[in-house]
């Protein structure tokens, strides 16, 4: 196959900069190439793994004996316009920032709070990315997928995707490979500045426009998060725990300043960054070339040369410390692969 390459270094294809060589690697630019790649893996009886920009992965440094498929399918267009909203289609290989630029150009809004997330649309759907009070699922109308078992192309509704907090059906069923997403966007701008950092930023601005929001988020992210082009990172490494009201009240007796946020079905979300910083006392902790970013403790950073095992062991240590203090097993946002 022309699109298949041999022995490709995977550290060049993820933002944590870990990973050994892949025995086979390819970039697919359309559905036919994707099907061709999957058939290659099946014919050779090897495993395959699909990636976008690799911005939410922690890859093992061992050699992967299978096929890594990078989704590079591109294309965005307005499918239909109605009085209050428009439906746009975006291929899975488009970047989130590229999608938002398209929306700004076409006077559409809704997901601008996701600006500067360094992932692709397909991976964003899988992860149900969220930032500054917005989740991707709230604007996804449907998703086009290829079933790696049957090679059939079909469409899943928003409900079919079973979205949750940084979760979806695609995390459980790896045979469903996203090729395109259909989004329902607003024709008129409605600013979403309920998130505390945005509320503070715009405290003296009465009517921010969509470009103001994008500029604000870029500035806030720059001040809060590491530059993934300079430091190895996958952004927030852990999920914020979601607990019952009873569990929160129990914790509150011991830690009176513990903040809370409402979650679905009456549950409560607690900020893990606060727990790591204030309760565990681990702010800015560094072990060798791995550490917690000093401005955001949900973020683990590879300062240069750290291996998969270094980062994984560091993360396990954080997990143990959190459990020791609040008796909650925290979950990772980042996927461990191979």
Residue 177, beta-bridge partner list = 146
Told to judge if 221 belongs to the known catalytic residues of this protein, a careful annotator would answer no
Report in angstroms the alpha-carbon separations of 48 from 40, 119, 127, 149, 218: 10, 20, 19, 12, 35
Distance, CA of 152 to chain centre: 26
Options 166, 168, 221, 332, the catalytic residue? 166
Q: Of 137, 134, 114, 115, whose CA–CA distance to 125 is shortest?
A: 137
Options 55, 86, 95, 236, the catalytic residue? 236
Letter string b/e over residues 11-21, b meaning 16 or more CB atoms within 10 A of that residue's CB: bebbbbbbbbb
The count of C-alpha atoms lying within 13 angstroms of the C-alpha of 115, restricted to the half-sphere facing its C-beta, is: 22
Q: From the CB of residue 53, how many other CB atoms can be counted at a distance below 10 Å? A: 22
First-to-final CA distance of the chain: 24
Told to judge if 236 belongs to the known catalytic residues of this protein, a careful annotator would answer yes
**What is the signed CA dihedral for 292, 293, 299, 302, rounded to 10 degrees?**
-80
Residues acting as catalytic residues = 166, 236, 333
């Amino acid at each position: 196959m022309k699109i298949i390459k041999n022995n490709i270094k995977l550290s060049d294809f993820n933002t944590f900069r870990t990973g050994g060589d892949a025995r086979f690697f390819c970039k697919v630019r359309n559905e036919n190439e994707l099907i061709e790649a999957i058939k290659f893996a099946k014919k050779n009886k090897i495993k395959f793994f699909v990636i976008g920009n690799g911005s939410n992965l922690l890859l093992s440094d061992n050699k992967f004996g299978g096929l890594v498929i990078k989704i590079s399918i591109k294309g965005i267009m307005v499918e239909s316009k109605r009085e209050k909203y428009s439906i746009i289609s975006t291929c899975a290989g488009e970047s989130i920032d590229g999608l938002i630029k398209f929306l700004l150009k076409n006077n559409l809004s809704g997901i601008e709070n996701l600006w500067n997330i360094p992932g692709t649309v397909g991976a964003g759907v899988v992860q149900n990315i969220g930032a500054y009070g917005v989740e991707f699922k709230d604007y996804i109308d449907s998703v086009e997928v290829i079933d790696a078992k049957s090679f059939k192309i079909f469409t899943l509704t928003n409900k079919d995707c079973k979205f949750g907090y940084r979760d979806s059906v695609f995390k459980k069923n790896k045979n469903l490979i996203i090729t395109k997403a259909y989004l329902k966007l607003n024709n008129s701008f409605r600013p979403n500045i309920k998130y505390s950092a945005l509320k503070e930023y715009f405290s003296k601005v009465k009517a921010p426009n969509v470009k103001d929001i994008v500029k604000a988020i870029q500035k806030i992210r720059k001040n809060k998060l590491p530059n993934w082009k300079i430091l190895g990172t996958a952004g927030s490494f852990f999920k914020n725990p979601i607990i019952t009201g009873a569990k929160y009240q129990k914790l509150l007796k011991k830690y009176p300043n513990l903040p809370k946020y409402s979650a679905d079905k009456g549950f409560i979300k607690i900020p893990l960054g606060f727990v790591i910083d204030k309760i565990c006392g681990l702010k800015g902790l560094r072990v060798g070339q791995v550490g917690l970013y000093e401005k955001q403790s949900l973020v683990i950073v590879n300062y240069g040369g750290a291996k998969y095992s270094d980062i994984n062991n560091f993360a396990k240590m954080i997990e143990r410390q959190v459990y020791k203090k609040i008796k909650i097993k925290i979950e990772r946002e980042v996927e461990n692969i191979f």
